[in-house]
Amino acid sequence: MNNILSIDLMPLPFAEIQSARVASAGSSDISLIESIVLGLVQGATEFLPISSTAHLKAVPVALGWGDPGVSFTAVIQLGSIAAILWYFWADVVQVVTGMQRAIAKSDYQSQDFRIGMGIILGTIPILVFGLMLKALVPDLDNSPIRSMASIAIVSIIMSLLLALAEKVGKRERNLEKLGMKDGILMGVAQTFALMPGASRSGSTLTGGLFMGLERATAARFSFLLGIPAITLAGLVEMKDLFDTGLSNVGLVPLIGGLLASGISSYIAIAWLLRYLQNHNTWVFVWYRLGFGIVILGAIALGLVENS
């Protein structure tokens, strides 16, 4: 990154340094190392119920790199979508071909048709609300909803909702018992992910538990439901990023970030599905609660700018 302090040899207070770096994030270069680190953070947190957006905001700010911005964040999500397609390719093919057979035979009660339609219908809410958000908040990078305090508060709220879902969820239904209604309800839960800090995986997993799904089933359907949403978000933001001429990220760092994101995403998916087969979600509840409290504490102590 360009040295933003080179214009003044006098040392600045930490808070002022952080503020200057954040303010210059849109114009300074993202190095290969930074891009790889951000890609690893993206992949590790995209599919765990702890919010990739929150960590991609908090980690670089804590390291003094500044906020990488919405566009870069969304583009390296393409590494995550490559990983999820790689991991679930057989499932995707089965659902698509199964839907084709079901339509040809008018068998609208088949499992593949119900799951496929659930994914399609469940994607509509986040598309609608996503377009509304983009219209109402065109400069999302500098919006108050992406402030550190907002992210911390949302993280705490979502940790409490996940705790409640863990407590009251019956966990009686598996993938074979999913219907189109489940897709719509989980799709509504997915819209909470538009709020930075909420976590798409966390929102849908929480929704699935409230709906009585088994933990691993809720996570698996969450991943399948996320394929269209993550893909569309990444493609839209990639277009925006290329329209700006890749002003703050070069091709090599971008590729490095995408590869790091893809590899760490695949590992996170495999680990979470295996973990939820025999464990509850309390580790994520406590992590998210602590994450939010630490950020609020850092803001109160003046260690981190609320930007």
Percent of the chain clearing pLDDT 70 (strictly above): 85
What CA–CA distance (Å, rounded) separates 21 from 173? 49
Q: Is the pLDDT of residue 20 over 70?
A: no
User: Which tens digits make up the pLDDT trace of 29-65?
Assistant: 788 999 999 999 999 998 999 988 889 888 888 888 8
Written as one letter, the residue type at 7 is: I
pTM of the model: 0.82
Residue 1 counted as domain residue? no
Query: pLDDT-derived band of residue 180, with 50, 70 and 90 as boundaries?
Result: confident
- Residue 7 inside a domain? The answer is no
Alpha helices in the chain (DSSP H): 14-23, 32-46, 52-62, 70-105, 111-136, 148-168, 180-190, 200-210, 215-243, 251-276, 282-300
44: nearest Cα among 201, 198, 165, 156? 201
Domain count, the chain: 1
Structure tokens that stand for 246 in this block: 């890749």
> What is the model's pLDDT at position 143?
77
The string of pLDDT tens digits covering residues 78-134 is 898 899 999 999 999 999 999 999 999 999 889 899 999 999 999 999 999 988 887
pLDDT of residue 274 exceeding 90, the answer is yes
What is the per-residue pLDDT across 286-304, written as a single tens digit (0 to 9) for each?
999 999 999 999 999 988 8
Predicted local confidence at residue 146, as pLDDT:
80
| Residue 59: inside a domain | yes
pLDDT attached to residue 236: 72
- Rounded mean pLDDT, 178-190: 92
For 238, the token pair is: 């990639």
Residue 30 has what pLDDT?
83
When pLDDT is cut at 50, 70 and 90, the band that residue 178 belongs to is confident
Average pLDDT over residues 211-233: 91
Residue 92 lies in a domain: yes
d(CA 40, CA 28): 21
Closest CA to 204 of 100, 123, 306: 123
**Structure-model confidence comparison of residues 307 and 91, the more confident one:** 91
Give the DSSP letter of residue 51. -
pLDDT of residue 291: 95
Predicted local distance difference test score (pLDDT) of residue 13: 39
> Is position 280 within any domain?
yes
Note down the domain range covering 170. 29-300
Given a cut of 60, whether residue 246 has pLDDT beyond it is no
HSE-up of residue 56 (Cα within 13 Å, Cβ side): 31
Work out the number of other CB atoms within 10 angstroms of the CB of residue 62: 16
Is the pLDDT at 21 greater than 60? The verdict is no
Between 10-19, 164-173, 242-251, 296-305, the lowest mean confidence (pLDDT) is in 10-19
Instruction: Determine the pLDDT at residue 279.
Output: 95
- Mean pLDDT value across the chain: 84
The angle that helices 70-105 and 215-243 make with each other, rounded to 10 degrees, is: 120
Neighbours of 210 (CB within 10 A): 20
pLDDT band at 242 (very low <50, low <70, confident <90, very high): low
Coil, helix or strand at residue 87 = helix
Whether residue 18 is contained in a domain is answered as: no
More confident residue, 147 or 168: 168
For the segment 245-257, the average pLDDT, to the nearest whole number, is: 76
pLDDT beyond 80 at 23: no
Predicted confidence (pLDDT) at residue 15 exceeds the cutoff of 80: no
What confidence score (pLDDT) does residue 109 get?
A: 87
In this prediction, residues 214-235 reach a mean pLDDT of 88
